[in-house]
Amino acid sequence: MSAKIRQAARCALLASSVLLAFGAQASAEQAAGPAPSSGFPAVATAPKGAPNVLIILTDDVGFAASSTFGGAIPTPNLDRLAANGLVYNNFNTTAICSSSRAALLTGRNHHAVGFGTVSDLARPEPGYNSIIPKSAGTIGQVLSAAGYDTAMFGKNHNVPTWQSGPMGPFDQWGNGLGFGYFYGFNGGWTDQFEPQLIENTRTIEPPERGDGTEAGYVLDRDLADHTIDWLLMQHSQNPAKPFLIYYAPGTAHAPLQAPAEWIARFKGKFDSGWDAYREAALARQKKLGLVPADTKLAPMPEGTRPWNTLSADERKVAARYMEVYAAMLSYCDAQIGRILDTLKRTGELDNTMVVFVEGDNGASGEGGAIGGVNYATRISAAMQGGDEMAHALGKLDDIGGPDSLPIGPVGWASALNTPFPYYKLVASRLGGVRNGMVVSWPARITQRGVRSQFVDVNDVMPTVLDAAGVPAPESLNGIAQQPFDGVSFAYSFTQPKAPSRHQTQYFEVFGHAGIYHDGWMLSEAVKVELRLDAAMPDPASAWQLYDLRHDWSQTTDVAAAHPDKVAEIKALWEKEASRNHVLPLQYSNFSSMLPGTRPEPLAEPGVHVLYPTQ
């Protein structure tokens, strides 16, 4: 427990003791006459019976990673939520971190709230400036105003880079997004053993650098510790108030790191390779009823080598990356289990609506053909012709520990996204946008099973408000609010076969464009740029059409057979893209990486004087 929380606990205990000491006298005085009129300002009170809300969002976790969705990585705590709730197999994200988080937090399309790209690559256009407008109040702000206690733990990748310093401004830090307490980190990723931590608006140091073992410091455990401390404090001080917790660990985004004991659990488990993983995962998905029986495996992306063509050394290194990924996700699941156990111990689990989104996009292919020991330098090292494989072999036992910042190869990304094509960033393909979701709320959701309605990440906020009985505000803090783009999927809690109410959803990231409409998906073509070791949009080629009603894994282009449908949905794409500030599409990030693109403080001309702290 942190010193600040311990101090607050002592104060709360002292206050309680004082109240108990004078309780009898106060009761007698109140019985003697009418209660005095209150001069205190009115406070917001949540609707009677409103649920607690726990939103969990993991990072870079593919559809077929967790055991809940047919993967080979044991996630027993997601499994237990699924056994006591509903499993959504048609849940969709935006294909990239910041964008999915902005849509989840606001209930609006990501470009409509300035997050058409990650905050690190923001550019001065309304759909891409990484500034959530005040007209798009977040779920934290709305539920705070409705009488909820709110807290956020983990990753906040919605802070503009030029506002991420200690002087702020703090509008899009955790507190500014409506969360009364924040503990975690700003930005896309951090080290599990030595993270860059923020508490509210103050940079803090972890107790000490982790040594790579479970006994040492590990960020995922620290996040769970702080969440549990906050929960117990809230339960003691405000037991009558519901809470909202947004729990967003950095797992399993690179760097892939986990305690050595957990990595050892997976030794040899993935030696059969990614091709065998895909086959086994699809078989399990069919057995679990997660995909139709006739679902096909989408082809591996161009340039991805079959496992049996890798050398013995290449297989050894690739297997190690996957062992670490599995350990990281499984360890994270165990920490989430501690939070669920705490809710059960305090008697709050029954009326807690848990929305667990396993991944903010598909698994990441950013590791390229062979992965990398250092995520931060992998692309530049590859382009410079370095011998990454020799480096990885020399560091094999260190991969996943505190002396590495690894990312796995693209073959595993494709396997973890089974049965869909491609991976993170490729917003035109289901491998980029399809993630698993589980919703559990024992007090109200009594049905069990799989739900296949089309659901988007921007549907989460409208659904939570619907469940809580909190209307979407027309105005917040005096500012008129944008309408939601998302649609509540609460109807699916009791109507397993009901038609999807979210019928149209466009996608776009880094020029990868597509649109879903009423069971069809129109997608821009994709090509693999071997020099960059990455999938790129192919605007010179014709768009492709997929009938997802009969082609669950997006494997068969039927554009030639349905030219009228292509024209119809392409017109819808143009309309949605225009309405949401998507256009014009930008197919390269190079200009966004140049100095001066964003108003970074230290990029301003002049002399900057730096002083030591006291």
Render pLDDT for 364-405 as a digit per residue (tens, 0 to 9). 999 999 999 998 876 555 544 568 999 999 999 999 999 999
The residue-averaged pLDDT of 33-56 equals 85
Residues 326 and 316: their CA atoms lie apart, in Å, by 16
Tokens of 50: 């409103």
Residue 246 lies in a domain: yes
pTM of the model: 0.93
Residues near 481 by Cβ (< 8 Å), separated by ≥ 6?
Answer: 135, 136, 137, 472, 473, 474, 475
Residue 433 lies in a domain: yes
Q: How many distinct structural domains can be found in the chain?
A: 1
Split at pLDDT 50, 70, 90, the class of 495 is very high
Split at pLDDT 50, 70, 90, the class of 38 is confident
Residues near 312 by Cβ (< 8 Å), separated by ≥ 6?
Answer: none
Evaluate whether 100 touches 109 at the Cβ level (below 8 Å). Answer: no
Residue pLDDT, tens place only, 438-466 = 999 999 999 999 999 999 999 999 999 99
Residue 542 lies in a domain: yes
Nearest to 473 by CA among 55, 134, 41, 151: 134
Residue pLDDT, tens place only, 207-254 = 899 999 999 999 999 999 999 999 999 999 999 999 999 999 999 999
Residue pLDDT, tens place only, 521-533 = 999 999 998 777 7
The residue-averaged pLDDT of 11-35 equals 43
pLDDT for 588 beyond 90: no
Length of the chain equals 614
Residue 121 lies in a domain: yes
Selected residue with higher pLDDT from 488 and 205: 488
Q: Residue 4 has what pLDDT?
A: 53
Q: Residue 344 has what pLDDT?
A: 98
Dihedral in degrees, nearest 10, Cα atoms 454, 59, 153, 509: -70
Domain CATH number, residue 558:
3.40.720.10
Residue 336 lies in a domain: yes
Helix or strand or coil: residue 311? Answer: coil
Helix or strand or coil: residue 410? Answer: helix
pLDDT for 27 beyond 70: no
Residues 165 and 186: their CA atoms lie apart, in Å, by 10
Residue 604 lies in a domain: no
Residue 43 lies in a domain: no
Residue 576 lies in a domain: yes
Domain that holds residue 91: 57-497+505-593
Q: Residue 36 has what pLDDT?
A: 54
